[in-house]
Structure 1
Amino acid sequence: MYRLLIVDDEKFIVESMLDLFSRQEDMELEILTAYYGEEALRLLQSKIDVILLDINMPGLSGIDVARQITQNWPLCRIIFLTGYSNFAYIYQSNLMKNTTYLLKTEGNETIAQAVKDAITEIEEEKRQQQICSQLEVNNVYLEYLLHLDILTDLLHGKKQYELQKSIQDMHNSFLFHTDSPVYLLYMKVKQKLSSENERDFHQYLVQITLFLRQGLNHKFKIVLADLDSRTFVAFLQPDYTAEDSATFVTPSTYIREGINEQLESLSSILPLHLF
């Protein structure tokens, strides 16, 4: 299921596009609509995959909305719509990643195909992201080993001064900032693992860490700690720039949206309960 947002200040355009995509049986879409830029921004708390965006709206323009959405959801494909050709708009839209520029007069078939192409691009980019280099796998596993004892001690209620000493002993190898919030994601394997799967459990942890990082667009530091062979906890800390923080949705919302996208992939690795 992909989430499509339609934004235009002309009501009949929004209704026409809503009708068009509601009838597209070959695309699984959740469709959202907005009639001005400020309303669209409020919807960006939810993950958006494709946006059909009127480039020239009163108040907040389509360009302004697009800049915001690329900060929050960088994989989102943006299809600018306009009633007339304007070189300045075309130039500005071409400066942005993952954008297409269409005239509203090009017809429903062309617009529908543009959305299909955008979804195909997203699927291909996801596949490419899942092709991880061995170096990245090794780095994730090393981070897991370095942090396992201290994160497990933290979960088991070890005294604060003892934890601080352990962090100091790690010098600069400790991944997290101790003065910033850390979010926890609790995961439990639904069924007992076979002996073969138990041997591969650490490999699963590495794979799941990589899936989570990709699903959250590498905007979080993530390390997993296993409590036993069926239970583990992901530690997540926001890791984004000052520019991002000015426009960023709340970390908990971003985690929820990113995790929802990865649930199917995670379930293909292990049958999980996520809390």
Structure 2
Amino acid sequence: MRRMLIVDDEPLIADGLYTFFAKADIEDMEILKVYSAKQALEWLDTVKVDIVLSDICMPGMDGMQLIQEIVDRWPRCKVILLTGHNEFEYAHQAIRNPCVADYLLKTEGMEKIRETVEQTLKQIARENDFRYQAEWFQEKMPKALPQLQRQLLLDLLKRRGAKAWMNLQEEFDAIRLPFRAELAVLPMLLRIEEWGSYESQSDQRLLCYAAANIAEELLGDKAAVKVAELDSRSLVCYIQPHAGQLQQHGLEQGWERTIRFVMGTLESIQQSCRDCLRLSVSIIAANQAVQWGGLQQSVNRLGLAVFDSPGHGMEKLMRLDITGETAGLSLRQDKLAAAELLLEHMKQRLLEGSDDWMCSFRQWVEITGEGGPDDPFLRLRLLHGIADVSLRTVQEAGLSEEAGREHDLAPMLHFNIHTRWSDIIAFYRETCQWIVLRRRDSCRLDESHILMNIHHYIKQHLDGDLSLTRIAQEVSLNPSYLSRWYKKVTGRGISDYILERRVEKSKELLLGTTLRMQDISGQLGFSDQHYFFRFFKKAVGCTPQEYRDQRKGAAETKM
């Protein structure tokens, strides 16, 4: 949301500009108005302002002094200066200031001022446009590339479903990863077995980084390769043939040569880590490339092979057949990884109060089996996983107290490997149904409470600040979001509600009191009673005095 602040010590001009721009209905822009530079500073100290439309000659602090205060607070704010006189010295000073977008005479008219505001908005948009910032982005991005690349490489191990891979090449290109999405990938795992004399976490992280560099340098001679830190002592390595290999030898031979080179280089990587870093490193490489969608399962198998092979803690060098008999070793690992992911999806849907949780729950039941897994270790891990997610969901949803009164969670403490799996499924299905129903009630109550607070604040401050920014502060929401949310919930804008309340309050004061028009206009937030007259006539169809006289006359006639 853009925000424009109108500053003029003449209320008639400030109100006129405010009304004009409020009616102009410029998309996603809030209009604020004040009657002095001092009041302007109060707004500038509270919220970010994008455009200031200010008079130059004002008592106390003039427009030129205000510019310095604006620049000090919001360097990217644009200032449009207004004056009633063609003052060359002011114009000369203004043009030299980079934040001044234009210098206008008030006599040039409202349409000229509007045109200037719209041009200034376009200028702001251009400055914020990605293409405008491309030069800066190109300078800063190289520093962030390693972290961005690592995040994407790790994210690839969590993706599920065909849609997750649709724009993979674009993602690679955006952060300069040397991979091709249409090609398979060869996964490899490096695990630090002994740290030697390196005990601090900072030293160990640096050594992981150094080991990754060694692997990338040695394998990079003949392959496209990137290494990412999987955990505190494990590195995952992604490998594809160089484009030149494929062009020269074709896909099949290119892969054969790349895999042969990789397998022959593994010992050199271990040797370099040992000689240069004094690190003992195990390396487990897949025997063949896999599609990106099968990466998670393959890396899980490589990790499991580290622990399932004899000689724990020794410096292993393994080439794993991920499609042969050893594939069965990862069944437990695969199920646990899939179950964990599904439960996290289910948790998010429950917190949203969405029925979509049922899809994730059904998938969890499918992978665990209707009767549950036979492996007691896997069964226990799955029980622990769903219990942990359920308790975290109850806590994050703020339902801990309600659970104690309405839904007994104690049975999960008594579930064990001998409990019938159907009873476990039934209990957690019922628990999830209770959570989502209570969460919906809570969301509706929250929305109702926010709406009530908004309406109460407006009714109590009809004579004060009813800007969208101030109302949003009252309920701790983003102003732009509040505007969209209010319209979605009520079917109308906040300004429409404010208008209705002002009309309603003005009628009450006209008929229920003997207050003068000037006093009534002040209680409704109008700095000028003529502005109040125009507002009332447009809304009701007659002037305030005519309304008072007509209604009182009708009441006397009935008597």
TM, length-normalised to structure 2: 0.27
- 1:27 Cα deviation from its structure 2 partner: 3.6
Q: Residue by residue, what CA displacement relative to the aligned partner does 1:57-111 show, whole Å, maximum 9, x if unpaired? A: 1001111111111222222111000110111111111121131100011000000
Task: Give the whole-Å Cα distance in 1 for the aligned partners of 2:114 and 2:28.
Answer: 13
Aligned to 1:85: 86
* Counterparts of 1:193 and 1:14, CA distance in 2: 55
Q: 1:54 to 1:139 in 2, by over 3 A?
A: same
Preserved CA contact (<8 Å) 1:5 1:33: yes
Q: Give the drift of 1:133.
A: 4.2
Equivalent positions of 1:175-186 (< 5 A) are none
- For the aligned residues, what is the CA RMSD? 3.6
SS at match of 2:128: helix
Q: Hey, what's the Cα distance between the residues in 1 that align with 2:9 and 2:137?
A: 45
CA contact (8 A) 1:5 1:34 kept: yes
Q: Distance in 2 between matches of 1:50 and 1:90?
A: 18
Q: Does 1:140 align with 2:144?
A: yes
Aligned equivalent of 1:101: 103
Other structure's SS at 1:51 match: strand
Aligned match of 2:74: 73
Deviations 1:231-267 (A, max 9, x none): xxxxxxxxxxxxxxxxxxxxxxxxxxxxx79x9xxxx
Q: Does structure 2 retain, via aligned residues, the 8 Å contact 1:4–1:50?
A: yes
Aligned to 1:246: none
Matches within 5 A, 1:20-31: 20-31=20-31
What are the within-5 Å matches in structure 2 for residues 48-63 of structure 1? 48-63=49-64
CA pair 8-138 structure 1, distance change in 2 beyond 3 A: same
Task: State the alpha-carbon separation in 1 of the partners of residues 34 and 26 from structure 2.
Answer: 24
Asked if residue 37 in structure 1 is aligned to residue 37 in structure 2, the reply is yes
Tell me what 1:116 maps to.
118
Deviations 1:187-218 (CA, angstroms, capped at 9, x unpaired)? xx9xx7556589959x78xxxxxxxxxxxxxx
Q: How does 1:1-275 map to 2 (within 5 A)?
A: 1-45=1-45, 46-99=47-100, 100-127=102-129, 128-131=131-134, 132-141=136-145, 144=147, 196=165
Distance in structure 2 (CA, Å) of the matches to 1:18 and 1:115: 13
Unaligned runs of 5+ in 1: 149-188, 205-227, 231-259, 264-275
Task: Give the share of equivalent positions with the same residue, in percent.
Answer: 35
Q: Which has the larger radius of gyration?
A: 2
1:23 alignment partner, SS class: helix
Does structure 2 conserve the Cα–Cα contact (< 8 Å) formed by 1:77 and 1:98? Answer: yes
Change over 3 Å in CA distance of 1:85–1:137 after alignment to 2 = same
Give the ranges of 4+ consecutive aligned residues of structure 1 lying more than 6 Å apart after TM superposition.
Answer: none
2: CA distance, partners of 1:28 / 1:41: 23
User: Per-residue deviation at 1:129?
Assistant: 4.3
Q: What is the CA distance between 1:130 and its match in structure 2? A: 3.7
SS at structure 2 position matched to 1:74 = coil
2-side partners of 1:123 and 1:108: how far apart? Answer: 23
> Relative CO higher for 1 or 2, CA cutoff 8 Å, sep ≥ 6?
1
Distance 2:159 2:53 in 1: 45
- Structure number with higher strand proportion: 1
Contact 1:27 1:116 in 2 (8 A): no
Change beyond 3 A, Cα 1:101–1:193 = farther
- State the shift of 1:26 in Å: 4.2
User: Structure 1 89/193 Cα, relative in aligned 2: closer, same or farther at 3 Å?
Assistant: farther
Q: Structure 2 CA distance, aligned partners of 1:28 and 1:135?
A: 32
In structure 2, what is the Cα distance between the partners aligned to 1:28 and 1:133?
Answer: 27
- Does the residue aligned with 1:125 lie in a helix, a strand or coil? helix
How many correspondences in the alignment? Answer: 167
Q: Taking structure 1 as reference, are residues 140 and 82 closer, same or farther at Cα in structure 2, changes over 3 Å only?
A: same
